[in-house]
């Protein structure tokens, strides 16, 4: 006698677990807003620079290929070769200077009340359209 066997394997009873390809790319990423500012070089030339909002001002200047801002320590707050001047009305709205930053700027012959280390300034929307001036080299 032939054994009656229904084809009830697990595969036949289980609905497909495969999903159709998602129409949305799996490579979604968060794009930081861009901030554009002006940079006055030591020769008096004004350059427009754009940078992602999560960069420092120094990083945006360096990424734009401006090599007169040496930034020798790469933003580790130990060289002061990223010294810039900020606009007077901007100076008051920036994050306060740390003691380390102030100590480094004290070593410059060109420190003013508008001096900052550009590696310590985060690009934010508040800096959009503002102007930074590279300080003279010590
Ligand atoms: S890059 Fe060295 S202190 Fe800013």
CATH at residue 82? 3.10.20.30
Mutate to test the pocket of ligand 1, among 63, 67, 70, 77 (most ligand atoms within 8 A of CB): 77
Asked, for residue 24, whether it belongs to a domain, the answer is no
Closest ligand 1 atom to residue 80 Cα is 3
Asked, for residue 5, whether it belongs to a domain, the answer is no
Asked, for residue 10, whether it belongs to a domain, the answer is no
71 Cβ inside 6 Å of ligand 1: yes
Q: For position 32, what pLDDT does the model report?
A: 80
Q: How many CA atoms lie within 13 A of 41 on its CB side?
A: 15
Asked, for residue 98, whether it belongs to a domain, the answer is yes
φ, ψ of residue 48 to 5 degrees: the values are -90, 130
Domain count, the chain: 1
Tell me which residue range forms the domain holding 93.
32-134
Asked, for residue 14, whether it belongs to a domain, the answer is no
Asked, for residue 38, whether it belongs to a domain, the answer is yes
pTM: 0.78
Asked, for residue 18, whether it belongs to a domain, the answer is no
- Tens of each residue's pLDDT in the chain, 138 residues: 444 444 444 444 444 445 444 444 445 567 789 999 999 999 999 999 999 998 999 999 999 999 999 999 999 999 999 999 999 999 988 999 999 999 999 999 999 999 999 999 999 999 999 999 999 999
Asked, for residue 95, whether it belongs to a domain, the answer is yes
Distance, in Å, from the CA atom of 32 to the CA atom of 52, rounded to the nearest integer, reads 6
Q: For position 27, what pLDDT does the model report?
A: 55
């Amino acid at each position: 006698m032939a054994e009656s066997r229904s084809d009830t394997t697990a595969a036949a009873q289980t609905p497909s677990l495969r999903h159709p390809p998602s129409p949305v790319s799996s490579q979604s990423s968060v794009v930081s807003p861009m901030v554009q500012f002006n940079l006055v070089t030591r020769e008096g030339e004004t350059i427009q620079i754009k940078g992602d909002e999560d960069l420092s001002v120094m990083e945006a200047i360096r990424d734009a290929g401006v090599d007169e801002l040496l930034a020798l320590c790469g933003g580790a707050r130990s060289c002061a070769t990223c010294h810039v001047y900020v606009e007077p009305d901007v100076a008051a709205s920036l994050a306060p200077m740390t003691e380390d930053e102030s100590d480094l700027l004290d070593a410059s012959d060109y420190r003013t009340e508008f001096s900052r280390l550009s590696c310590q300034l985060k690009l934010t929307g508040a800096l959009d359209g503002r102007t930074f001036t590279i300080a003279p080299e010590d």
